């Protein structure tokens, strides 16, 4: 069976539902992933989905493919990504699959595939699965695997067990008023009850799952989504506001003053808290994070480790370095101090509540003394998969020539990285191509308005040189930050 090779990305599989993916293709992917597991003597997998319209059909197809090569499947139903990770521990299996396209528009879908407890596929693993499909080298079992679909009662019990697990890891000493925007993703089913369990008053928006995403793509890196949260925080005088992506493993925050916190600031906040308890620890962050992040880590006595973007790569680096924590600008946070080390937006939310209660400070007060930067959000511009790598490579050559005195971070510094970052004494600029979609991302910052605007003009001018950039694209995010 011919499947678009571009959907086999650097750590996930992701494409357009009904075009790159259909039930037969998904079943084939299930057979290949099942073969991948059987090669590793794994015979069981948990499977869940988010609320995308194609999710239920794809879940059944993936289960058919897995069971056809002898994998016993536990069908969790509609869950958050972190609940699939939790299910690996609860049901004691290395295998696991979440059917989701995370923060991408509704027409996309895809798969996060486990390689072990809390660990997911990296580049070589994804390409192995692709090679199994292209070579038709599927495992031939003695008998089919069994598919067990959790009953409604069992699903409720599982959700309760997950909630109890995250709640037992925190001690929240204060009651808060919290704005929650679920973006019509799957989090609205689970997060409100968890917040109520710790005494929060919830002001909820878009909590009913709807795979059409009628209020726009649930992406907490998007100014559009975070602006909704900002307005609600100010209207209802909330302690803070939180937004989730479609599958719940990423968050975005707005403080009590209505200021949007891009997640590199939240990485710094979490790092400071962890370093108070685990001094001299290593903290991993991705190359899109502000200079603020590494400075706060250093000022707090830690060692910053910059690494390549992608939840699978950050998790692997945390394990390799023995780091206490890791985080990304996208809103993935990985706590290795008192949790499993995988990205869990619900647990990250609870850690914010706990830190606010412990310090008796507001959210804005937690970062009031941090170094000051004027920093753009992550900006995304459409670019075809077959063009984006070439565009970034060509752009990077000129980029490095334009700033010969800057400290450059590229593939020569972080092996396998997907872009080029230039650091100055007062900020940075980065260009990179996305690992999981047909688009390019950029971010820039400075410590004064004039320099910030100069860098903004430079970034826009550079990108406008390339006719392959798709400025009116549904994947484009935060383009107004270039105006």
Q: 5-151 adopts what CATH topology?
A: Alpha-D-Glucose-1,6-Bisphosphate; Chain A, domain 3 (3.40.120)
CATH top class, domain 374-482: alpha beta
Residue 147 has pLDDT above 90, yes or no: yes
For 228-252, what is the mean pLDDT? 98
C-alpha 429 chain-centroid distance: 21
Residue 435: predicted pLDDT: 86
Tell me the pLDDT tens digit for each residue of 380-411.
999 999 999 999 999 999 999 999 999 999 99
Asked if 191 and 198 count as a contact pair (C-beta separation under 8 A), the reply is no
Q: What is the pTM of this model?
A: 0.96
Tell me the pLDDT tens digit for each residue of 61-119.
999 999 999 999 999 999 999 999 999 999 999 999 999 999 999 999 999 999 999 99
Sequence-ordered list of residues with C-beta below 8 angstroms from that of 91, at least 6 positions apart, any chain: 44, 46, 74
CA distances from 450 to 22, 406, 447 (A): 50, 19, 9
Ranges of CATH 3.40.120.10 domains, the chain? 5-151, 174-260, 262-366
277 phi/psi in degrees, rounded to 5: -100, -30
The two three-digit tokens of residue 219, written as one number: 């992406």
For 266-286, what is the mean pLDDT? 97
Alpha-carbon gap, residue 120 to 13, rounded angstroms: 11
- Provide the angle, in degrees to the nearest 10, between the axes of the packed helices 152-167 and 81-90: 90
pLDDT band at 1 (very low <50, low <70, confident <90, very high): confident
CA distances from 270 to 170, 223, 276, 284, 359 (A): 14, 22, 10, 12, 13
Asked if 158 and 40 count as a contact pair (C-beta separation under 8 A), the reply is no
Query: Which CATH code is given to the segment(s) 262-366?
Result: 3.40.120.10
Active site residues: 102
Ranges of CATH 3.30.310.50 domains, the chain? 374-482
pLDDT band at 436 (very low <50, low <70, confident <90, very high): confident
For 367-381, what is the mean pLDDT? 97
For 135-154, what is the mean pLDDT? 97
Name which of 248, 254, 103, 260 is nearest 178 in CA terms.
Answer: 254
The two three-digit tokens of residue 476, written as one number: 């484009």
CA angle 242, 206, 14 (to 5 degrees): 80
Residue 144: predicted pLDDT: 97
Residue 217: strand, helix, or coil = coil
Residue 406: predicted pLDDT: 98
For 241-252, what is the mean pLDDT? 97
- Determine what percent of the chain is predicted with pLDDT higher than 90: 98
Query: Which CATH code is given to the segment(s) 174-260?
Result: 3.40.120.10
Tell me the pLDDT tens digit for each residue of 190-221.
999 999 999 999 999 999 999 999 999 999 99
Residue 417 has pLDDT above 90, yes or no: no
Asked if 121 and 113 count as a contact pair (C-beta separation under 8 A), the reply is yes
b/e map 78-117, b = 16+ CB within 10 Å:
bbbbbbbbbbbeebebbbbbbbbbbbbbbbbbbbbbbbee
């Amino acid at each position: 069976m011919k499947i678009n090779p571009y959907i086999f990305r650097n750590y996930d599989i992701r494409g357009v539902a009904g075009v790159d993916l259909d039930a037969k293709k998904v079943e084939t992917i299930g057979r290949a992933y099942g073969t991948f597991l059987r090669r590793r003597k794994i015979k069981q997998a948990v499977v869940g989905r988010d609320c995308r319209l194609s999710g239920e059909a794809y879940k059944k197809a993936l289960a058919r493919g897995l069971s056809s090569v002898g994998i016993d499947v536990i069908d969790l139903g509609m869950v958050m990504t972190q609940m699939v990770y939790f299910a690996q521990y609860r049901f004691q299996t290395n295998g696991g699959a979440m059917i989701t396209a995370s923060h991408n528009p509704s027409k996309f879908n895809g798969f996060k595939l486990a390689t072990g407890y809390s660990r997911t596929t990296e580049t070589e693993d994804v390409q192995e699965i692709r090679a199994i499909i292209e070579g038709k080298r599927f495992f031939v079992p003695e008998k089919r695997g069994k598919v067990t679909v959790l009953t409604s009662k069992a699903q409720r019990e599982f959700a309760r067990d997950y909630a109890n697990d995250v709640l037992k890891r925190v001690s929240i000493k204060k009651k808060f008023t919290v704005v929650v925007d679920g973006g019509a993703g799957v989090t609205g089913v689970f997060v409100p009850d968890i917040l109520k369990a710790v005494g929060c008053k919830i002001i909820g928006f878009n909590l009913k799952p709807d795979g059409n995403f009628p209020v726009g793509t649930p992406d907490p890196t998007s100014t559009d989504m975070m602006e909704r949260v900002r307005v609600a925080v100010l209207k209802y005088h909330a302690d803070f506001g939180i937004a989730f992506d479609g599958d719940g493993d990423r968050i975005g925050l707005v403080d009590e003053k209505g200021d949007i916190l891009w997640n590199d600031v939240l990485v710094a906040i979490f790092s400071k808290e962890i370093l108070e308890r685990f001094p001299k620890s290593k903290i991993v962050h991705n190359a899109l994070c502000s200079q603020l992040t590494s400075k706060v880590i250093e000022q707090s006595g830690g060692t910053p480790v910059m690494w390549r973007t992608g939840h699978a790569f950050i998790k692997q680096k945390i394990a390799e370095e023995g780091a206490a924590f890791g985080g990304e600008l996208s809103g993935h946070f990985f706590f290795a101090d008192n949790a499993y080390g995988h990205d869990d937006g619900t647990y990250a939310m609870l850690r914010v509540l706990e830190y606010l209660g412990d310090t008796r400070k507001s959210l804005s007060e937690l970062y009031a003394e941090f170094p000051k930067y004027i920093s753009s959000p992550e900006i995304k511009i459409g670019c075809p998969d077959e063009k984006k790598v070439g565009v970034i490579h060509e752009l990077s050559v000129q980029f490095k020539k334009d700033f010969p005195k800057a400290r450059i971070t590229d593939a020569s510094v972080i092996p396998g990285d997907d872009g080029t970052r230039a650091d100055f004494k007062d900020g940075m600029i980065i260009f990179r191509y996305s690992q999981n979609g047909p688009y390019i991302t950029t971010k820039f910052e400075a410590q004064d308005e004039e320099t910030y605007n100069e860098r903004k003009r430079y970034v826009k001018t550079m990108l406008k040189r390339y006719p392959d950039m798709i400025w009116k694209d549904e994947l484009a995010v935060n383009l107004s930050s270039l105006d």
